Structure 1
Amino acid sequence: MPQLPELSERDIHQWIDDRSCQRGEKYYRNGHILNPRVQDRVLKAECVGSMVQPYRVEITLADEGIASGYCSCPVGGGGHCKHAAALLFAWVHEPHSFISKETIDDMLQHLERDELVSLIHKMLAHAPEMEGLLELQILSGAEGTTPVVSAETIRRQAERALYSGGDDWQSGYTVASNLTEVVAVGDEYAAKDDWRNAVTVYATVARSVLDNYEMVHDEEGEVLWPVGECIAGLGRALTAVTDPVRREDVLKELFYLYHWDVDYGGIGVNDEIPGILREATLAERELVAGWARAAMSTSGSWGKRSYGRFILGLIPEQLDDETFLHICRESALLTDLVERLLKLERVEEAVAATKQANDYELLRLADIFIAHQRDALAQQLILERASTSKDTRLTHWLKEYAKSHDDPETTLSLAEELFWEFPRLELYQELRELTEPVGRWTALRETILRRLSREGNSTLLIQIYLAEGDVGSALQTLQKSAHQPPRHFGQSLSLSVARAAESDYPYEAIDLYLQAATTLIAQRGRGNYAAATPHLQRVREIYRKLGEEPAWQRLIANLRVEYRNLPACRDEFDKAGL
């Protein structure tokens, strides 16, 4: 056995977080580590955890310390769990309890062929699911042979992997791991320069996953990771294969995967495919573009746009202006269409196309007009749409346009319109910035405050007063609306007033903090009791600053009496030192 590095508890804490270390040490102390052993540089054991079946734990050591780890528990993939910690504590404190064993390779070398065959039969009888692993090994082919792999065999292996995950939360990761083993067969063929079989594996695995995707639980997209590996493998095949027929087979498979993703609604499966295909020959790219045009003719609006972008990026050097514009119109790629039309000085066509856009697209297209020094046309297009649309983004665009073109009157008018559409503090402050330099703010402010008061918008009034440092008016407004809590903000706004009032209106601040605390306590529950204590601590601090500690003592004594039947509440008071 090689010389192993000495480990300390500090090494364990550097490898595993403190909480897992604490729990792992407890597992070790309680004898949860079973059958500890060391094989070469690998520590192994089983650890009794929360499941009936013990978890398998491994830690690999290197000269400098811990190199890697693994545990079969749900969070043990990197060996940073409490079970791995228990194994390491056992090694640090009781290394003599670890039995030294030969490595798997060394043990197998002692067996004859018949013994190995017998062993494999016994292992398959014990774990029938391992038969798939045996088939995968055989598929790789013996050294020096190049058997033609059956796509049907690969499909069965892929589908077996797809349904291997079960129903638990990590089933997607299990499926992905098992699929990766099948993909690895393709990688082995590729390493032998056997691209015919490699392509068969990559294409079959990818198709199997996508054809059965609706049947698999894939919460985080992990089942699609092996598909990405297959796409990368097909890309390498396109680089390596020279036979035109086999290259076309690769192109067909890549386009099938692209087509599936478009039909599915675009979940990112095909993101790398356009870049791969741009490395194909011009004739091959034109072939694929033809397939895309055929698919586009039967697609919905999303598919038409996807295929349109795909074609424009695939064969840009083959597209004259009219062909480019035709594809843009056919696939409703308004941004590319308008950009090219303006570049060609075909302004009337650009305007006509822009008028077909929805409000969101129109805003983006207007910026393109401005980039081509067509500012007046951009403004005209937005003005026409704003007269019939309720989308305030159009009004905001017009306001910013007026501001950038030094038109203060229009800017102010539009800013007021936006404010009254959705009254907010930041829009109020913008109006102030626009009017204060020209001496018009005082009158406008009075108009705004009167209207907000008339409409009962106490929330914004209070925010305005607080922002302007007028705590007295904020308190007055809050008190007037006490029977009808300020909309949207409620208690948090009252607390903002309380914090602002502590210096100049301390007793009013005390009342607001008490109201917040008693409201929480009335809702019951330890969490609410705990949330109430900071408000009472503020009350205590205000009384202290006023030099009225006896008043605080009377108050807290009365509260303790009032809540004497709420032991959890009194406990939270004690924790907070009240």
Structure 2
Amino acid sequence: MKELTEDTIKQIFGNTTFFKGQDYYKNGHVRGTVKLEDTLFAQVMGSSHEPYEVRALIKDSEISTKCTCPVGNMCKHGTALLLKWVFEPSSFIDADRFLESLDGISKDEIINMIGRAIKQHPSLVIEFTREEREKPRINIDAISKKIAWITSGELDYYHIDDAIDKLDEIKNIADRLKEEKSFKDAADIYFVLVEGCVDAFDEGADDSNGSMGDFAISCIKDFNECVEQINDPAYKNTLLGKIMNLARIEDYGLEASDMLLFLINDENIKRVEEYFLEKLEETRKIASDSSYRYHKEKSLGILNGLYEKLGKPDERLRLAMYALVDKEDYYRLAKILFEKKRFEEAFDAAKKGLLMPGESHYLNDLYFDIARALIGLRPEIIDFNISLNVALDLMSGCFDEEKYIAAKEVFEAIGNSGAFRSAFYKTIKNRSSAVLAMLKDGELQAAIDTVRTEPNISQGTTIAVSRAALDKGMKQESAMLMRTALERGRINDLLKVGELLKVMIDVSEVPVLQSLCDRILKNKDRGTALLLMPYLLKKSPELSALLAKNFMKDIPVEMVIKVALSVAQKSPDEGALLCRLRINQDILQSHVHYDKAVSLLSAVREIYAGNEPEWQEFIRKFAAENKSKKKLLEMVRKEFKVVL
């Protein structure tokens, strides 16, 4: 075995770990030392009640240690073992010599030796009879306690990155065990890490950036990969109980129930079903209706997924019939019947569900999926009024083009397309949906008339109709719709309305634009004013200036300059005044805005180009009014080479 020194150990482990290990060695914590080939073995007393099992490999090109403590590799306990070897090599039992001595002993003598050892230490029989069973290499209780401290005891709920870094150190131990094919030990660590993350969420951890959720999901993925490699029914059975409980209580989108998918089989599925239904019944007795419905949906969803994994459609159907009391229950039943191509039964379940309390947009979607499947089989059982009500409810929130087309397909098949469209236009509560349906059906004029006469059409819908009108060459109608949209409130900049605004300005008379600007000012609509201002510059710079004066503090300096220069083409003094208004606001706020003031003064200089007396009068008056602002005046002198 390679010769080892104290300095070598310090160099390998670093000062912090070395001195901690030195304390353990000097205090007599290293016991039961054994040497076998290139490896040293010992038990080291640490912070846990049970000693840690430590081993150290010493080869010519490698010195490494492994330990059952939470750190795992290259820890202070390994340091203590190596120091024991450096200073007390004679205290190590030489297992190589012992094994050599067995060559001269008979079989009966060896059996007697083993028998005496078992009498002294009965647990040894487990080691002798163990068949392809992983021997634990970790102290999972110690690791669990460390995780609990990280995720609750010392957790800063609003800054959890430090906690995740510490949890990641523990995950690294599991990752190494996984690579070494110690799948049970790795799975145990991954599981307690997921439990720790759930505990942190229960304690109120702020995971707004999703980092702890991502960490937990990665642990679940690694756990599942380990479980796939384990062929020990007893071990998996032990895990199953823990995971059922975790999957039931976890409500943070971590999908802990996915861990069940890799443990479930034909033998234990009934146990899992009984557990979830029993817990669900307990919840029903003590929880509110809404809480019970939530847990019911969650539990049945988990069980449905497990039966689907096992390929048991009849069991899924049986489960779907459990306690049918609301729309969501009937949705589950109809969906499974639909998947089994039992379309009439699925349609009957969907229609029953529509009469139940609660909400389920999924049921509305499924209704039309089933109806479309019945078109070629039994179209006569599709009722117009029921289908109309489903369509109206389906698009009461927002218009969905694909769903509208799917609904129309059903009504066309039963010969009621015209009646459906007419009823939809007139009765849909969301009037924007009515207008968008008209556009989809090519009823442009009807859409224009509806926007003009009904005030509750959304901005996006109004602009969509304006764009459709422009595409048809209807510029006046498009302009009218854009003015309507602007008068009703701010337009979202993301709607890309530049071309529509240009056409509106081009075809609208100035008095009409004046009326629009007056409405914007009355509504104090800053956003619409900023959007419209650059488009007004060419046709009516005076209106741009009107908006600028009223929203001066909200306008970028560059836009103020553009408006001022445009206005100045007819009235230089008006353009200069506009600049002066903004300068006054900026310099009164702070000296940090002096650069903006200089830019605006440069615009005034350009406005009075060719009229030096006017410029000189303006700048001297400006300097006189601001004589206390020494820094500003110095900047003006330097920029314009003027004597003030």
Scaled by the length of structure 1, the TM-score of the pair is 0.58
Q: Within 5 Å, which residues of 2 pair with 1:134-533?
A: 137-139=67-69, 140=72, 146=135, 151-162=140-151, 172-187=160-175, 189-190=177-178, 193-215=181-203, 217-219=205-207, 220-223=209-212, 227-262=216-251, 266=252, 268-270=253-255, 273-274=257-258, 277=261, 280-285=264-269, 287-297=271-281, 298=283, 299-316=291-308, 317-320=311-314, 322-323=317-318, 325-326=320-321, 332=328, 344-345=343-344, 346-347=346-347, 349-354=349-354, 358=359, 368=369, 378-383=387-392, 394-408=430-444, 411-412=447-448, 414-416=450-452, 420-422=455-457, 424=459, 427-428=462-463, 430-431=465-466, 433-434=468-469, 437=472, 442=476, 468-470=504-506, 472-473=510-511, 476-477=514-515, 480=518, 484=522, 486-489=524-527, 492-493=530-531, 495-496=533-534, 499-500=537-538, 501=541, 505=567, 506-507=569-570, 510=575, 513-514=578-579, 517-518=582-583, 520-521=585-586, 524-526=589-591, 529-530=594-595
What is the deviation of 1:259?
2.3
1:469-525 CA deviation, whole Å, 9 max, x = no partner?
248457734774697463242763574366443587545783785376247427612
Q: Partner letter of residue 486 of structure 1?
A: K
C-alpha separation between the residues in 2 aligned to 1:529 and 1:328?
73
Q: Partner letter of residue 318 of structure 1?
A: K
1:153-181 CA deviation, whole Å, 9 max, x = no partner?
33222234346867597x52332232233
C-alpha separation between the residues in 2 aligned to 1:523 and 1:540?
22
Residues 498/175 of structure 1: CA separation in 2 closer, same or farther (3 Å cut): same
- Structure 2 residue matching 1:315: 3-state secondary structure: helix
Residues 446/469 of structure 1: CA separation in 2 closer, same or farther (3 Å cut): closer
Scaled by the length of structure 2, the TM-score of the pair is 0.53
C-alpha separation between the residues in 1 aligned to 2:223 and 2:279?
22
Cα pair 1:386 1:395 within 8 Å, conserved: no
- Count matched residues: 454
1:565 equivalent in structure 2: 628
C-alpha separation between the residues in 2 aligned to 1:483 and 1:215?
50
- Structure 2 residue matching 1:510: 3-state secondary structure: helix
What is the deviation of 1:232?
3.4
Q: Partner letter of residue 309 of structure 1?
A: G
Cα pair 1:518 1:532 within 8 Å, conserved: yes
What is the deviation of 1:369?
6.9
What is the deviation of 1:427?
1.0
Cα pair 1:190 1:198 within 8 Å, conserved: yes
Cα pair 2:331 2:363 within 8 Å, conserved: no
Residues 326/458 of structure 1: CA separation in 2 closer, same or farther (3 Å cut): closer
What is the deviation of 1:148?
7.5
1:2-42 CA deviation, whole Å, 9 max, x = no partner?
xxxxxxxxxxxxxxxxxxxxxxxxxxxxxxxxxxxxxxxxx
Residues 572/520 of structure 1: CA separation in 2 closer, same or farther (3 Å cut): farther
Q: Partner letter of residue 307 of structure 2?
A: I
Cα pair 2:435 2:450 within 8 Å, conserved: yes
Structure 1: which 5+ residue stretches go unaligned?
1-101, 124-129
Q: Partner letter of residue 433 of structure 2?
A: W
Give % identity. Answer: 13
- Decide which structure has the larger Cα Rg and report it: 2
C-alpha separation between the residues in 2 aligned to 1:216 and 1:575?
59
Residues 310/468 of structure 1: CA separation in 2 closer, same or farther (3 Å cut): same
C-alpha separation between the residues in 1 aligned to 2:603 and 2:501?
22
- Structure 2 residue matching 1:469: 3-state secondary structure: helix
C-alpha separation between the residues in 2 aligned to 1:229 and 1:384?
40
C-alpha separation between the residues in 1 aligned to 2:13 and 2:536?
80
Q: Partner letter of residue 240 of structure 1?
A: Q
Q: Partner letter of residue 203 of structure 1?
A: F
Note the aligned Cα RMSD (angstroms).
Answer: 5.6
Cα pair 2:396 2:428 within 8 Å, conserved: no
2:414 equivalent in structure 1: none
Residues 415/541 of structure 1: CA separation in 2 closer, same or farther (3 Å cut): same
Structure 2: which 5+ residue stretches go unaligned?
1-5, 28-45, 53-65, 82-126, 128-133, 284-290, 376-381, 399-426, 492-496, 542-562
What is the deviation of 1:277?
1.0
- Structure 1 residue matching 2:255: 3-state secondary structure: coil
Q: Partner letter of residue 281 of structure 1?
A: N
Q: Partner letter of residue 146 of structure 1?
A: K
C-alpha separation between the residues in 1 aligned to 2:638 and 2:299?
64
